[in-house]
Every structure is written in C-alpha cells, then in structure tokens.
Structure 1
C-alpha cells in the first residue's frame, strides 16, 4: 500500500491558502485551506480531483479558507456527471448485447470543518445545484475531547483515523453526546440560567437543521429541469419559469402580464418551479467564529510481515497462508493449531501527521496548550507537523511557537505561512506566456510581480527540525516513512521564457520589431490623432484579470475586468475566483492596495459562479485599507446576488454598512431577456453625490437575472458597455449605442454556433455584430473557451461595410489575462497582433509536443 501526503499549494498571490493532498490508491483526501486559486493550481500541477472523497477544512470557516471550495464542488460534480454519462453509454451497448450493466461506485463528497461550515455552503444555494455529487457536511460545533481522558478518533474510514482539534479563545461546549457538566445534576426544577441555556441550544439546533436541509436540497434534490407543472397563472409564485402552449401546441416562454398584476389573464400555464433550496429566502442568523480547526491524521496499524519459512516449518499448507494473514488460525502438522502470532511479525504502527492552523494570533496559546499534544497514545507515529499561518503570524517572532517546536524536536515541522513562503509564481504556464508577450509588446503586457525572498526567514537554530514548505514535497507514510523531494516544484526560471521566445519564435520577434517601427512613424501617429480626436478619456485603462469561461484553466482565469477611469476611480466588471490574486500579480501587493483604494463599484452580471466568486475577497481587502469613513463601495447586481453578499457577511467581516447595494430590478416582476432593468439605490442615497457613473442595464438571454450593463461618465461623455454572458441582444446594442468601449463575450468561434445557441453564449461574429449595431468605437472580446490561448481570425464582414467601419473608426482586440490596455492605444496594440498570433501558434505547437 502506497500512502503519502503532498503539498499542493503554498501561500502566494496565486493561492492565498496552503493545501495538502493525502494519497491512497483507492481514494484521495484534501486537508488545509481550499482558498481561491486552489483548483487552478491543481490544474497546473496536474493533480487530479477525480478520487477526492473527503475534504478536511482547517482554520476558521471564512472566505479566506473556503473561497475555492465552491468551485471545487462544481468541477467535481461535473466530472462525476460526465463519468456517469460515459458509463450509461457503455451500459447501453452492453444491454443491447444482452449483457449486464457495469456497476458504478456511488459518488459522494464529505466536507469536514468547524462552526459555520453548513451556513457557508447554504449561502450558495442561489447558484449551485448539482445532483451528480451528493455533498455531506460534517460541521464540528463542539469539542470531541473535552474529556481529556478520551483518545479515540472522531473520524475513521478504511484508510485513516482523524482527531479533529477545535481551537477557541473560550472553551467550547462538550459534544451533544456528552454531559454538559461532569457533576451529577440534582433533581428539581432547573434554574432560569439553565432553562435559558437549554432553550438557546434548542434554537441553535433547529437553525442548524434548516441549514442542513438547504444543503441537502442543493446536492441531493430530486428536482428535475425538465419537469413542468400545469397551474393557473394567478397561482404562480415567483421566482419561477413560466411557459405556455402556442396555437401549434408547442411550448414557449410566457411573456404576458405578471401573475400579480391586475391584468393577469385567467389561463393555464406550465411552470418550472425553482429548485427547493432556492426557495429559502433567508438563512437563520449566525456570526463569524473566532475559531480554528486543526487535525491529527494517522494511517491504520498494519500487520507485520508474514514469515513463509516459519509457516512452512509448522506444516501450514500454502492455501492457508492468506487465512493466517487475515488473523485466522489454521491447522498445521500433526493436527497442531497454528495461530497468526506464530508466523506474523510485530504489528507496524500507522504513521501520521498533524495540521496546526493559526488564523488569529489570539489562538496561539489555546492551540499549543491542547492536551492532545501530550497524549502519547494520540501522538504515537506522528512524524510531521504542518503549520498553516496567516499573514501576521511568523515563527521567528513568536517564542511560544519556537519553544513548542523544540519540545517536539523529533517531529519535522513544515511551515506554510505567507510571511515565510516567498511570493514566487505558482502558475508557471501563464507566467511564462506573459513574459513572452512582454518580449513582444512590453507596453501592453507588463511583467508579473513576484518575489523570491520571503518577508521573514526561519531562525537558524530551528533549521534542523523545521523548514519552509515547498509545492510538491511529499511525506510518505507507507510502506516506509520518508520524505520524497523528487517532485518538489523548483522556483521558476523566469529567464527561460525569453530563451524559448528567441529560440522557437524568432519570426514573432521580427514581426514585433516591425510593429514598433510602424507605430513610431510620424504618419501613423498623425493618423491616430486624427481618427480619435473625439475619443473621450483616452487614458482610461482596461485590465482583463480573467478572460476564460466556466472554470479556471491553465492560461486563463475566470471572468474579471478592471476599468480605471481618470477622475472617476476604478470599477470591476464581474469578479471571478481569485481576482484579488490577479491584482496582486499584476500590480504587486502595495500597488493592488492603491487600486482598491480607488475602487468605486463592482458589477456582477449574473449568478454563475465563474463570474463572482472573487467578490468577497476583494471586499474583505477593501475594508482593511485606510479609507475615509464615508467612503462607500457600490455592489451593482440583481436582488439574488445582493442577498448572497448579505448572507456571507454572517461568516465574513465585510463592513456591510459601507457597502452600497445598487440593485438591478425587473420593472414587470419577471426578468425577461430584452427588457430594461430599474436601477434602485438604497433609500436616502443621492446617486449623483456618490460620484458614480450613470448605470443602465437590461436583462439578457443566458440564465435567470442575467444582465448586461452600460456605464456613462457624465462630464466626459465616456460610455462603456459590458455584455456579461449572453446571446446577442438587440436591446443591449440599443442601450449602448455610441459606446466608446464594448467588452463582449465570444465564448465560441463561428464554427461552433450550435454550441453557442445551446449554451446561450455568443460566437465571435455575433459579438462583432452587436458592436456594429451599437456603433461601438473600440471592441475588446473576452470569455474564451479555448484550451490554448490563441487569436481567432476576425470576420471583417461582421463589423459592417468598409464605409461603416471607417465612419465610426472601429478597432477590435482580444483580451488576455493581465493585459493593460488604454482606450487610446487600441491602434498601437492592433499593430502587434501578427506577432502575437505567431507567438501563440508556436506555443500551442510546443504544448502539444510536450503532452505527446
């Protein structure tokens, strides 16, 4: 049996949390913080999620520790659904031949963590519905070993035993199965305090059952997308998708008066009811928990080596060898009974490791004083301790941690803290690509910011027993306990991409040189000045932070675009997972803080997870900065997303009073694609006094409450239109008419028009046609589904006739992650497209050769 624990990620801009994977042949386990960026790091490291069955979350249940968890759920569920579909195809063929089906192993994911785990999961009920992967949360709200004499693990399966160690400044209550006091309770009426405590406990348990029911409905519901229920229109309760049969008997969406309106007709309609979890408007209240979850993990003891020679001498036949190894006695020579202890070596103790997660300095003493560390039965076989430390905690400046390590000098201490792990590139592939693009066009593709030196070093006296964790480092638990360094990921050689560029893509460099000469020519500069003399705010900067679709990929993060408008501040249009990390890589930690200080609004186009799972981290960091007390941050979104943000504040400090919820509402009760929204500000708020641009939006055809938005900046007249995800929308084109910048999705290339229609996205030519209808001056295309980054060929006809294009001075570019582009530099950037196309074609060829 092979078992090892591997460091998947260490704290950096790319993954702010540390994550470990425990490997067994039959299944995998994740331990630590599943922070934003974890899944993308696993793609880079080629770590498969397929056999993950249990996730043990360490630290506090907040967004910093769990921001990547929801994305992992979605990917795992989609993997299981695809696997089930493939198996059904295989079984269909078997059945056609009269053979029996191949049995599948039931999919299941167990999530272990501390207080607020179930609440955190339940906040996602508005945008997560997956039936292929039942999720079972195990929230530990009490101390499983408040009785210090207990040494039993609180979780066990066929591979491991786990001791969960909840840490809090104040002692936690004993588990529900234990008495609340070691003293015997006297008979008689309960005191008022006892009665009140029991009532509070009962209410808390009732609230928890509500949350658990919501999570069950999210992942184990029998709800079916294709199920339609017939009822009277007046009886329909929104939100629900309403259909009607037309004169030909075909089903089509109903677009008449709302069920609650006075003009509601007395007709029968077909209704697709929302999935059960989404019907819960509000979760029971909770509050952020100043707690941390730590773990001790051990393999089961293994039987000793079977002594074949001794068994043979005792007259045991070979067919009985297996029975002896399974603990059974067998007959030997002359009728003697041979017992296992006569032929088996001594039992081999299971090896293990511990995870000590310290999210807050106040928890250092309570953690180090836990009785488990001095319990020889629990600590037997523990060879390694992984220390997951938050930003303001280091080993070098804390004598308590140092003394603890020295007291456990027989154990290897692996430190996974952001202050001690250098901020080196954790995603080598996109970093390499960006460095090469910098060699082509340094103006539009600045180098990513990283640092090979940690902020705090490990004390020399601790070096014999401690080291800073590195991705890929393995500790083998079985068959022999040892550290394996062969898979350690070396620090990226940032000079190699330049060598590869010069060696494999010299033609790209030649084309880049020609482009630089072309844009420096006086005639070019004169033409640029002439053609865009009326382009307002040309210094407006567009920074795509994520240009991929659906899930993080090796080269593209999920959707996010930063817009920096001089005099008006910064705006984030969609905010996919690890947008904050992309800001850190693009601008550095201090530079990103300056960008966030200038942040005025975050706009979320719709509820699909790839467009908003980074919002909470951005808000959390924004609130930590030194800003005027009256500074507000606008969240521009539909009601369901606003409700999500409000509920997340129950487990994550976000300074809700400083958030301005600008809500995009339907004017008719139902958000029908093609209709305009009503922009609602909180009561008593004057939009003009906030210094925000004018916000106009419409509903588009993609998912429930999906919107596209147009921002107009009054003094300059600058008009920016952003599509989110959608099919082409004539309403959006009209709303954004005359836009100086259009950011539009083009998920699919033109030959995949059927996929675009089925999945409610746009093709390249469809996006360009929206720009033509809108008469947009500058078009930046984003949200690509390609495996490799490349530049598609533009269908010029989709932009209109040559006369039309010339009359409105239109330029089209493709977005790349961490590209920095000014509105007035589209023509310069366009000159480098031939060089970039050459570079990316060569890169794709090299990637395919490496995979072969």
Structure 2
C-alpha cells in the first residue's frame, strides 16, 4: 500500500481533524489565565517606580559571544530590565540563570543579523508567558518584521511588540536612562562579500498555513502579513547596511542621606530627614541650619556607557568620523560626559584593525572596554555540564564529558588553600589586574576585558567590575552530589559490571553513530534543548535530523571548537520533520556555522541537502532577501516528493542525494500532527534502517514506513496518564511510542521529545522492555550499543531519585483527583 498523500488518505486525515472528539478538544479554552493578572501587576509596579531614578544599575553579560553561544548584554536596575542583542540561545541562558524577564521592557539591537536577533522569537514567547504586556524594539528599521515572518510557527498573541523610531535625530528616555541612537553606515564603495548587492524586487510567495491551528480555540486573530513595501524596504536596508550604536547615560540621582552625619548634626527623627533626603536645607529647633549637602553623599550625575558593533571594515569610516562619540572621549568638556565603559560587540578582526584601535585610543585611560565577541570562550551553561558529569558515571562512551572547555573549572586541592575574601556584588571597583582578562600586547589598550557569562559591571551605586558571580564549573561537586545519594555507589557498581559484561559480547562497529542534541519539546530548559539529532553515517558524512534553536551551539559544546568544525564541514544533509519552531528555528544558525567551518578549514563551499516541507522556502527566502544571504547554503529536497513507494523527486537530484549520503533509500510519510508533518526512514547501503517519527500521534503510515527498522526514534512527549492532553497537542505517550515500535517490528526503540515537565527523566512503566531506551541531550550511541541502554535504568532512577519521586507524587495526586471526580459523578 502506498503512503503517498492519496485522496483517500487526505479524506481520512480530514476526518480525523473534524471528528467530534477532536472538535471538543480543539474548542476547549487553553488560554493561560495567569498572563492578564501578571500584566496588571507589572503595570502597577511600573507606575509606582516610574518617578524615581534607581539606586542600583548593573551591566551583566548573559551571552559572551563565544562560538556557538549567544551574545547578549543584560542591563538591570532595581526597577527595570534592558537587553542589548538577543542571539540564538538567549532564552535558554535566561531560564537557567533566573533572569527576571518579567521586568524586561526594551530590547536594543545593533544590527539585524542572526547573531543578534536569532533569539528574539524564542525570548518573546518566554516574555509573553511571564506576563510582560509590551516590549519595545530599538535598532535599525524593520526589526519587527521578524515576528511577522515567524508568526505561523511562533505564536505571539498576548504581547504587544512596539518599535521605536531610531535615528540620529531621536532619543529614548525613561526614569532609568537616556539613550542616544548613533547609526553607523556601511561605505558601499569598499568591496565585501555583502557590500553593494542589488536587492531583488521579485515577489515572495508567503506561507499562509497556521501550524498551531490544532491547538487553538478558534478565537485567535489571523496575524498580519508582510506587505510588499515592507519587503522592499527590508531588502533596501540590507543592501545599504546600518549598525546602530547606543550612547546611554543613567538619569542623575541625588546623593544618599547619611544617617550618621544627621546624628552628628543633631537632626531628630521625623519629617526633617525626608526634606534633607530630597535635597532641601532645614532649620533645627534651636535655629541651626543644616544643609542637605552636609548630610548627603554627592549627587550622581549618571555615568555614560556605550554599546556598539562595527561589523566589518566597511563601517569603520562612519564609526571613527562620527561626531557623537567625541563628546565622550578624551575631548569631553565635562567629566560626567566621559564614557565609563564601552561594550564592544565588534568582531575581533575588526577590533585589531588599525582604524579601530586608533578610535579606541581616543577614550580616556579611565574608560573600561568590555568585549562580547567570538574571542570569548564561555558558552554560558553550567547545567549541561552538571548533568553530563553525572551521566558520565554510567558510561564514558555513551555520555562522554563535553568538549567545551571554555569555562573556568574549579579544581579541588588535597590541601585546602587559603580562601580569598569574597567580593560582594556592590563592592568598589576591582583593579584591572584582578579581572579574568586576556592581555593583548598588540592592542592600543593594555587590556580589553574578555568576559564570561554573569560578569558584572556595576554603574551604581558604586562603579566597577565584578566577577564574583562569573560562571565557573565545579566537576567534583557535580559528582559528589550523585555519589551521596543513598545506595547509589552500590547500584552504580552493579550496573557498570552488567554493562561491561554485555559490552564484551557485542560486536560494536564505529558507525552509524547517533548524537542527541536536543530531546525536549516546545521550549528549551537548562537540561533538555529543543529537538535535534546528529547521525554520523561514517567518518565523512553527517545528517542533522531536526534543528531546534541552539543546535549549532550544542554541536560546539559537545565536540569542542576544532572537532566541531570538522563535524560541521561533514554535514551533507539536514532533515526537518515539520515547521514548528522547536524543530527548525536553529537552521539558519547551523547553515551559517557550517559555512564558517568550511571557510576556516579552507574547504570548498558546497550546499547541503535540505529535506523539509517545501513551505519552509518562504521563511528561508524571506530571511535571505531581507536580512542575510543564506540561499546558497542548501538545496531543497521536498519531503512530499519522497513518499514511500512513490518518489516524485527529480531522478538526477535523487541520485546525487543517495550518492552523497551513501543511502539506498530515503522515504517519507505523513504523520498525525500539524499540517505537512512527516516521518522519515533512512536505509543505508550496508543495510541498516533508521526511522524517525518527528512529532506525531500514533500513526499507521509510520508503522508501514518503518517496517523492520533496526532503530525507531519516536517522540514520547507525555506519560500514559496524560493521554488526553497528548491528543489535544497531537503527540504520543511513552507506551504509544513503544507500541508503534512493536508494530513495525523495530529491533530497538529510542524515546525522545519529552515534555519539559520530564526535564531529567520520564516516568517508566511496565511497557519499557529490553529493546526500549530513553534519550538525553549529549547522549552519543552507536547502533550496536543500543542493548546497553536499558541496563542503565536502575541507576538513572536512583541518580534522579528525588526528582522521580516528585513525578510519582504528582501522578498519584492526579489519580486521586480523577477518582474523586468519578465518585462525585456517581453520587449525582
């Protein structure tokens, strides 16, 4: 039987979507009721503090800009939050480090490139969910169009996105700071790979499919389309090139009242203290006049900090000749105008350019220069290392330690060294020698400050650098946490013995080899990233299967920089199962990362094969035409032209694909999820067959597609007791996924795409057998090692015992609630 989209099949699919059960579930209210109340609370807090200049303001590095990591600067006060640039992966780091996004109101973008805006769609979802009513984007014209372009797969309905008019004649001001916009323009007469291109006026056919229609109640408004004039405007902006710099100055703040001085001058408790605090002189009962200046610290006029990105040589003339910066350099006429710090998002090769060095030298020696670019090495997460060190105790082969060595590690000594005095976050400025910096003798400055995640630069109340909370890793602490679990050492010993015995009886070939880059659903958390897998066919061929946000960073983190470049250069194909954001939002970053790897290794640039629903072309073409050129990086292979037993792909293209991948067959089928959702089977020339479900409810077509697979990789979003919720979202439960593997006669079934409620471990049940395994982020398993995975279950349950007990407790409470509701119905 063919699994092609026949008319009978489509009728069956339509029947499913229009069944009474589905209509009932579809119309159930699913709005997040907490959002309106959170928005009201946020407005009340904002109104309360809007009249006061904050007493605490800090610049904090969230993403350092290291290869594979986002670059983003978080500015927080005791009232508001601001974000400068929002690269891919910002949302995940903000979640791990508990950034208070509920207070975020403004996002400033230097240049509309993926390195700066790739994290905007995901971050907006989180901002919306915590109840922020409105966010304002600042930067080059057209930034908001990224949200319109992604509206089919990133649903923003409770967050108003505003755009500030940013040019040399406008400014932004609130009770925290004043911001002057300084556009830096490209000199198009200087040749470059991006310079002077002609923008196309050909229309782009927009994708009108709502990929989340099955989850909505029907009350959702249809989002607006991008107008042709907006598309042309964006193409023109791309061709012209603008990078927005920001000169920021904190609002002045009166000096704090010193109570010790008040006592010394004999000021009694009461209303006189309030008058002095507000800067008013007072007269005491005996006639003595006490001046506010006598009992208050000096006023703080508000320090200046500058944020900028000079993307390439073409922008240097505009930067160094711009008069706006001179007021804050050595030529400043007032001390309070001198820049206290400059944040450089500029690439290192441009920072090393003589013109850029000369421009930096114009600042005073007191100006600090903080760098957020690819020279940094900290990728920003300790959580991924924590869980990998724990899992590594079970198997060094399946859970190898990560190749990312860019974050400082705390190594415990046998003899306790003297403990340095802890530095409080609001401590005075630290001497530059005490910072985690890299000396660069070739630089015009003695030092730039190269940073890790959570590096702080305090602007108020005291000014200075602070690395006391800068990210560090403590491997011994990670391991001790696990070994301290009751009975774990004994169970670990038993499990590792069993694994060793089993391993000796297996003939383990090096390839094929599967690395899980993301095993969570919907949005990333600190333990599970969104969907992504890397299949190594042999030492020269790699396929990436699904590509959630942060996939490129996961590759760099797992392999380390040099090995990652080798792997990236070997990627011959990417497979996208469907067009939900958690399955393809990392594609642009991966394409760019692969291009950079090929260039760095001096290899010929060749496009990869992109297996995907053909509708993806609209999004990729839009980004290519309006933001950055990526179209030459891939050749589309539509999933819908590879249906089982009925391939319609051009014969020459199919021959090239199979030869490049050393495959005998690549076939697809529709699965029961959103429109244009596919499953795929890959049959290699030496005989092995791997089937991947993508997101789906139990699907007969997938069973046929995957018959006699060596491995089925199937989504298992929900536990069995949440089957009704799985139907609403058109996903599978663990037992349903296992049953699909049994029906297709798969030798092994690997479960993935777990709801983030199962961040560490899913719930096991009686259907987990010796040929069923569960996937973790950064789990690398050879096909012949699959029999080892079930042996790890006892140790995994104990390793995460507290977490697993909580899952069981929640399940028991749900069951009690169901039983009570049944009893109530029977009594009625």
Relative to the length of structure 2, the TM-score reads 0.73
User: Is residue 6–residue 472 contact of structure 1 (8 Å, CA) maintained in 2?
Assistant: no
Within 2, Cα distance between the matches of 1:170 and 1:630? 27
User: Is residue 437–residue 447 contact of structure 2 (8 Å, CA) maintained in 1?
Assistant: no
TM-aligned CA distance change 1:597 to 1:34, over 3 Å = same
The Cα of 1:158 is off from its aligned counterpart by 2.2
Which structure would you say has the larger Rg?
1
2:606 is the alignment partner of 1:646: no
The residue that corresponds to 1:662 in the other structure is 637
The residue that corresponds to 1:753 in the other structure is 723
Matched ranges for 1:457-496 at <5 A: 457-459=438-440, 466-489=448-471, 491-496=472-477
1:133 alignment partner, one of 146, 149, 159: 159
Structure 1: give runs of 5+ residues left out of the alignment. 81-105, 145-152, 173-199, 215-236, 244-251, 254-269, 530-536, 668-674, 800-809
TM-aligned CA distance change 1:459 to 1:749, over 3 Å = same
The residue that corresponds to 2:654 in the other structure is 687
2:259 is the alignment partner of 1:292: no
The residue that corresponds to 1:738 in the other structure is 708
The residue that corresponds to 1:21 in the other structure is 74
Instruction: Write out per-residue CA displacement over residues 477-535 of structure 1, whole angstroms, 9 at most, x where no aligned residue.
Output: 3334344443333x3233443444444442343134312442255xx34xx79xxxxxx
User: Is residue 61–residue 651 contact of structure 1 (8 Å, CA) maintained in 2?
Assistant: no
The residue that corresponds to 2:530 in the other structure is 558
Matched ranges for 1:424-439 at <5 A: 424=378, 426-439=380-393
User: Is residue 13–residue 584 contact of structure 1 (8 Å, CA) maintained in 2?
Assistant: no
TM-aligned CA distance change 1:239 to 1:547, over 3 Å = closer
Within 1, Cα distance between the matches of 2:711 and 2:734? 17
User: Is residue 541–residue 822 contact of structure 1 (8 Å, CA) maintained in 2?
Assistant: yes
User: Is residue 696–residue 710 contact of structure 1 (8 Å, CA) maintained in 2?
Assistant: yes
Within 1, Cα distance between the matches of 2:698 and 2:227? 33
TM-aligned CA distance change 1:561 to 1:328, over 3 Å = same
Within 2, Cα distance between the matches of 1:372 and 1:350? 18
Structure 2: give runs of 5+ residues left out of the alignment. 1-53, 190-197, 409-435, 809-828
2:87 is the alignment partner of 1:35: yes
Q: Which SS does the other structure have where 1:284 is aligned?
A: helix
Instruction: Write out per-residue CA displacement over residues 430-469 of structure 1, whole angstroms, 9 at most, x where no aligned residue.
Output: 2122123223201111221123599994236978764222
The residue that corresponds to 1:532 in the other structure is none
2:594 alignment partner, one of 622, 632, 643: 622
Matched ranges for 1:161-560 at <5 A: 161-170=178-187, 275-277=222-224, 284-285=231-232, 286=235, 287=238, 290-303=241-254, 348-375=300-327, 376=332, 380=337, 382-390=339-347, 392-394=349-351, 398=354, 400-401=356-357, 404-405=360-361, 407-419=363-375, 421=376, 423-424=377-378, 426-452=380-406, 457-459=438-440, 466-489=448-471, 491-504=472-485, 505-521=488-504, 524-525=505-506, 539-560=511-532
Within 2, Cα distance between the matches of 1:343 and 1:582? 55
Within 1, Cα distance between the matches of 2:354 and 2:108? 27
User: Is residue 306–residue 343 contact of structure 2 (8 Å, CA) maintained in 1?
Assistant: yes
- Pick which of 814-823 and 565-574 moved more: 565-574
TM-aligned CA distance change 1:586 to 1:847, over 3 Å = farther
The residue that corresponds to 1:68 in the other structure is 119
The residue that corresponds to 1:533 in the other structure is none
The Cα of 1:306 is off from its aligned counterpart by 7.4
Within 1, Cα distance between the matches of 2:695 and 2:91? 22
Instruction: Write out per-residue CA displacement over residues 317-351 of structure 1, whole angstroms, 9 at most, x where no aligned residue.
Output: 97698689779999999xxxx99999999753112
TM-aligned CA distance change 1:558 to 1:506, over 3 Å = same
2:558 alignment partner, one of 568, 586, 595: 586
Q: Which SS does the other structure have where 2:534 is aligned?
A: strand
Q: Which SS does the other structure have where 2:370 is aligned?
A: strand
The Cα of 1:568 is off from its aligned counterpart by 8.2
Within 2, Cα distance between the matches of 1:21 and 1:567? 41
Q: Which SS does the other structure have where 1:349 is aligned?
A: coil
User: Is residue 665–residue 678 contact of structure 1 (8 Å, CA) maintained in 2?
Assistant: no
Q: Which SS does the other structure have where 1:30 is aligned?
A: strand
User: Is residue 68–residue 557 contact of structure 2 (8 Å, CA) maintained in 1?
Assistant: no
Equivalent residues, number? 697
User: Is residue 89–residue 119 contact of structure 2 (8 Å, CA) maintained in 1?
Assistant: yes
2:94 is the alignment partner of 1:77: no
User: Is residue 288–residue 652 contact of structure 1 (8 Å, CA) maintained in 2?
Assistant: no
2:692 is the alignment partner of 1:722: yes
Within 2, Cα distance between the matches of 1:468 and 1:721? 45
Q: Which SS does the other structure have where 1:39 is aligned?
A: helix
Within 2, Cα distance between the matches of 1:678 and 1:163? 60
1:824 alignment partner, one of 775, 781, 784: 784
Within 1, Cα distance between the matches of 2:229 and 2:129? 28
The Cα of 1:51 is off from its aligned counterpart by 0.9
- Pick which of 626-635 and 111-120 moved more: 626-635
1:599 alignment partner, one of 571, 574, 590: 571
Within 1, Cα distance between the matches of 2:730 and 2:646? 24
Relative to the length of structure 1, the TM-score reads 0.71
